[in-house]
Amino acid sequence: MGRTEVSRRTCLVIVEIDHDGEQIVTAVMVDGVRRVVDLSPDDIQETPPFGLEIEFVRGMVRSGEDLMILIDLPAILESTELLEAASLLPSIRETATGTESEQHA
Q: Mind listing the pLDDT tens digit for each residue in 31-48? A: 888 888 888 989 999 887
Residue 50 has pLDDT above 60, yes or no: yes
- 5 lies in a domain? no
- 96 lies in a domain? yes
- 13 lies in a domain? no
- 49 lies in a domain? yes
Structural domain including 58 reads 38-104
Please report the pLDDT score of residue 53 as a whole number.
Answer: 64
Domain count, the chain: 1
- 42 lies in a domain? yes
Q: Mind listing the pLDDT tens digit for each residue in 51-99? A: 666 778 888 898 888 888 888 887 777 666 666 766 766 666 666 666 5
Please tell me the pTM assigned to this model: 0.58
Asked whether the beta carbons of 4 and 29 are under 8 A apart, the reply is yes
